[in-house]
Chains A and B, each alone.
Chain A
Amino acid sequence: MLKPPHWEMMIVWYFFLGGIAGGAYFTAAIADNFGSARDRGVARVGYLLSLPLVALCGLLLVADLGVPTRFMNMMRVFKFSDPMSLGAWAVGVFGLFTFVSSVLSLSSSPSHAALRRKIGFVGIFFGFFLASYTGVLLSNSALPFWRDARLMGALFLASGASTGIAAITLIMFATGQATGDGWHKLKRADHVSMIIELVLLVALIGLLGAAAKPLISGHFAPLFWGGLVGVGLVVPFVLDFVAHRTRAVGALAAALILVGGFVLRYVVLMSIQA
């Protein structure tokens, strides 16, 4: 006799875009701090992508409230153990990081670059937070399946990485920057996150046991197996494996990874609310 909160399409988009924003940002900041000068293109795309996405996230979050004009009421309190409270703060703080990093990424002065790297290094943690807290938020509700999914935050984080990197890949491709080394590094990073994502997905379902039903055998099962596992994880791997020299195929794989990331948020949210 429990009640679902009716977090529907706006929140699906929020979870999805928040994952990309967080993933793109921390990938950019890691490339900026630990990559070579040639990875600066990746960093710039990642920073510049995370800024409009997190702005959109903020708008979605506010628009979904029952009384949007009372959004600021979340700023009355800071509850350290409440994912919803921390999340509202994190969207704001992370937004500031994406803004400063984006502005600095447009400058070519070495002192700005050094500052940008330092800010990016700190921002990595907020990127991680934004990509994962939504999973912890669900696993600390009272609803079956969500409340049993101990690894949802961990899974959302890996998915945030894989979709964030895929989004950077697509932009690099579309803007003609899909050249040499940087492209392969991006692909490698995406494959690593997807493998972690797959492992976490298997572990999540294993730990859920019977509680995994809404995901793996209900009305949403075809979408889960076909859309997330098939189109979103297995097919991109196969495409990248058989045609790793063809940029267009790599871009297609990235697009499918994004589809998979959306399907993941969709089935997790909607399967017990629809």
Chain B
Amino acid sequence: MARTLAMFTDTSLCIGCRACQVACKQWNELGLEVPEWTGGYQNHAHFTDKTFRLVRFIEEPGAKPNGDLAWLLMSDVCKHCAQAGCLDACPTGAIYRTEYGTVNINQDVCNGCRYCVSSCPFGVVAFNESTGTAKKCTFCNDRIHNGLGPACAKACPTESIQFGFRDELVAKAGKRVEALKGMGFKDAQLYGADTGGFLGGLNAFFLLLSKPSVYNLPDNPKLPQRNVVVDSLLSIGSALVVGLGVLLSFRERGKGGPHRDA
């Protein structure tokens, strides 16, 4: 495997211009969508089958030191999890990990069962009715295989989205958190940078200025499939009890034990 690539989204630098969202749409030829009213500048409310990069506009009343409304901006994307629920769920093998560590859906193999949609802990994967397949950020698979960074990172005018080798970006991000803390952003923190943390680390990780929950991110996302053995054993236990109950109901009694005739 090649050295793992990553995207580091430093939300403290985001100005909400949505260059990334537009660049993603154009490079990936994602179709038109009817905008929706979300009560703010954000559009759409969530990832769709045609929106893979999404700038979130989060209003946090009273969060500024002077009591003003804080406006948090975050360019959100598929996290390309090291332990990816979507990948584990896919029964066709359409979802695969590239040699760079990114997670991609092979559109020629996906049969549209939608199990991945229900298995992403971040609600990233969306179903496209017209192709009948599941869609999500590809980490610009075509670009990274031709020596280019993802379109969103390329377009970002403030370097809020940075692209590079994962280890280098994590080191850089750590320094940035310290610098921000020194500037008084006491809640500044990394999300998904730690490979020893949740989901084995995210290959698209973030620097947040507040708690993950403020950004509608789960504090401690878990791999959906972690309980498959326990749940299966419970089902097997149920099968044994039910099977025994049915067996005892059908067994001949009062005639000196079970008997059988052809």
Contact = CB atoms under 8 A, between A and B. Distances in A.
A3 B126 contact: yes
Contact of B132 (A30, A66, A140, A185): A66
A169 interface: no
B224 A141 contact: yes
Interface in A104-157: 110, 113-114, 124, 128, 132-133, 135-137, 139-143, 146-147, 150-157
A243 interface: no
A39 interface: yes
A36 B245 contact: no
B92 A77 contact: yes
Given A5-B114, A150-B234, A151-B234, A35 B250 contact: yes
Contacts of A85: 91
Interface string B104-118: 000001111111011
Interface string A63-89: 001111011011011010111110110
Given A37-B262, A73-B109, A189 B238 contact: no
Interface stretch (B138-146, B172-180, B190-198, B252-260): B252-260
A188 B239 contact: no
Contacts of A42: 250
Given A157-B239, A196-B241, A83 B228 contact: yes
A26 interface: yes
A200 B234 CA distance: 10
A193 interface: yes
B59 to A, nearest CB: 16
A65 B110 CA distance: 10
A209 interface: no
Nearest to A272: B118
Nearest to B226: A140
Contact of A114 (B245, B258, B262): B262
A27 B247 CA distance: 8
B119 interface: yes
Interface in B122-155: 122-129, 131-134
B246 interface: yes
Interface residues of B, number: 64
Contact of B245 (A39, A135, A143, A192): A192
Contacts of A161: 242, 246
A110 B238 CA distance: 33
Contacts, number: 210
A136 B119 CA distance: 13
B239 A132 contact: yes
Given A5-B118, A71-B111, A77 B91 contact: yes
Contact of A200 (B120, B224, B238): B238
A36 B260 contact: yes
Contact of A5 (B127, B131, B248, B262): B127
Contacts of B243: 26, 30, 124, 128
B46 interface: yes
A39 B250 contact: yes
B127 A6 contact: yes
A158 interface: yes
A52 to B, nearest CB: 22
A210 interface: no
A274 interface: no
A3 B46 contact: yes
Interface of A: 1-7, 26-27, 30-31, 34-37, 39, 42, 65-68, 70-71, 73-74, 76-77, 79, 81-85, 87-88, 110, 113-114, 124, 128, 132-133, 135-137, 139-143, 146-147, 150-158, 161, 165, 185-186, 188-189, 192-193, 196, 200
Return the 3 tightest CB-CB contacts between A and B, nearest first: A66-B112, A66-B132, A154-B238
Interface of B: 46, 85, 88-94, 109-115, 117-129, 131-134, 216, 224-225, 227-232, 234-239, 241-243, 245-252, 258-262
14 contacts: A6-B114, A26-B246, A35-B250, A35-B251, A81-B229, A84-B115, A135-B235, A136-B232, A140-B119, A141-B224, A143-B118, A158-B238, A192-B249, A196-B242
